[in-house]
Amino acid sequence: MTATDAIQANAQRRYEVHRADLPLSCPLPSMALWNSHPRVYLPIEADGGEADCPYCGAHFVLVD
C-alpha cells in the first residue's frame, strides 16, 4: 500500500475492526497520518468490544 492508497484518517465516526487488526490504534495503520492526531492504542478487548478514540471521537467495534 502506498501513501496514495491510504484511506483518509478520521473520515468516519464508526469503524469495524477484527481480531487480526489488534492491537488497535487510532489512527489505523492503513490511514494517511499527515493530518491526523498522534497514534493512541485503544484497549478494545477490555472495554467489551467497543472503544472510542480520546482525540477524534472515532468509535471502534470489534466484530469477531
> Who's near 39: CB < 8 A, 6+ residues apart?
25, 26, 27, 33
The predicted pLDDT at position 29 comes to 83
The predicted pLDDT at position 54 comes to 95
Question: CA-to-CA distance for 29 and 64, rounded, in angstroms?
Answer: 19
Please tell me the pTM assigned to this model: 0.76
Task: Determine the 3-state secondary structure of 40 from DSSP.
Answer: strand
The predicted pLDDT at position 12 comes to 73
- List, for residues 2-52, the tens digit of each pLDDT value: 445 556 556 678 999 999 999 999 998 888 766 678 999 999 998 789 999
